[in-house]
A and B are shown apart, each in its own frame.
Chain A
Amino acid sequence: MTDPVSREGLDRRWAQLMAAGQSGDRGAYAALLGELLPYLRRFAGRQLRAPEEIEDAVQDILLSLHQARRTYDPTRPFRPWLATIARRRIADRLQLLGRRSVRESELVLDDETLWGEVPNTEENVFRRRDVAAAVASLPQGQRQAIELLKVQGWSLKEASTMTGMSTTALKVATHRAVKSLRKRLGGGHG
């Protein structure tokens, strides 16, 4: 892996596969993404700890690579192009994790000041578990839509690419999921 000749050879190979992918050669493109997978997992693993976070970051990178594939110039090296996208998406993921941890700690602090029909007692600590259980009980399509769009923050287009569902179907599934979660959790408001 540290041999400069093989690194150059690999870069040339990836550049060729990418150029073929740009021309619509799906086999070459699938081969390229497959070959990048272990490389990207190692790359993401340098900054992220949890395996699921690494996998999420790798998916972010693959989606970005796919969306940005017109920006690759086949006459230029492939690795620097890929590395910038990878670094950017990992930085986004780290930022998201930071925001998420801040929000979660704020929620714990705010639990006792939230307005609700039920008194704000420590029972509310269990509420998050109820929400998780309610989400888990949703039909598969609705659960997937909620998790991708509302929990993980993917865009409609990205979630559509990942699931194969149309954006309209995703919107409908999200709407129904929110409705049924409200009903199940007994909150008419919000």
Chain B
Amino acid sequence: MADPRPTEDLIARLAAEAVPVRPLAPPLLRSAIWLGAALVLLATIVLVMGPRPDLADHLSRIDVLVPWLASITTGVLATVAAFHLTLPDRGEAWRLVPLPTLALWLLALGASCYSDWLRLGPDGLALGTSFMCLATIVLTSIPLSGLLYAMVRHGASIRPWATALTGALAVASLASAALDLFHGLSAAVMVLVWHLGSVALVVLVFGAIGRHRFARPVAAHV
């Protein structure tokens, strides 16, 4: 297809509509603002739902504390990564930043499952259903994702998949960490399957939706 207008015309047009714009605030500051808003929202949810009665004892267990801290750190690092990934002059490696703590989270939950199994035998790995986890993580992720999208969309659409997936990971990890504070799952295998399963679902679904939102359409369909 021949060029519809010379590129020089496009330049003239772009220059003519170049209204003043304010450069975006530094990505760390934008991440902090979003994390602050997420903290307020999640704290409200925890307070409304009522923290679990054994919260202090629960978090004093190392096999609970380590995956919980890993989930929060994953959420924070994924947030920072998502904001950096929309800036063209920041490296691709930002997509890898949340992976070590994500791996630690998985390993710690896996180790808890193993210790449940050693302690209780096959009963320790009995898997029930907890749609409450799924519903809470998905429903909490909706407003958090909306807010994150509202902030991240000011960036450049250059890495739609990486931005959407790290953003969804941020949202789901923090939702899961908040859920830990008011929902009393004791078996590690339940946490592993239902929390991480919900996180994986949110990452895939919200990631796929976000990928389309962050992408710039180029496809030609006649």
Contacts and interface: CB of A to CB of B under 8 A. Distances in A.
Contact of A162 (B10, B16, B26): B10
B83 to A, nearest CB: 11
B88 A74 contact: no
A150 B222 contact: yes
Interface string B1-22: 1111101101111111111111
Given A23-B20, A63-B10, A81 B88 contact: yes
B214 to A, nearest CB: 12
Contacts of B16: 26
A34 interface: yes
Interface stretch (A2-10, A88-96, A113-121): A88-96
Given A24-B19, A30-B15, A59-B7, A71 B86 contact: yes
Interface residues of A, number: 56
Interface string A119-147: 00000000000000000000000001001
Query: Helix, strand, loop or mixed for chain A's interface?
Result: helix
Contacts of B218: 60, 92-93, 95-96, 153
Contacts of A70: 21-24, 154
Interface of B: 1-5, 7-8, 10-24, 26, 86-89, 154-159, 216-222
A166 interface: no
A24 B1 CA distance: 34
Contacts of A59: 3, 7, 10
Interface string A71-115: 111101100111011001000110110011000000000000000
A150 B10 contact: no
Nearest to A143: B4
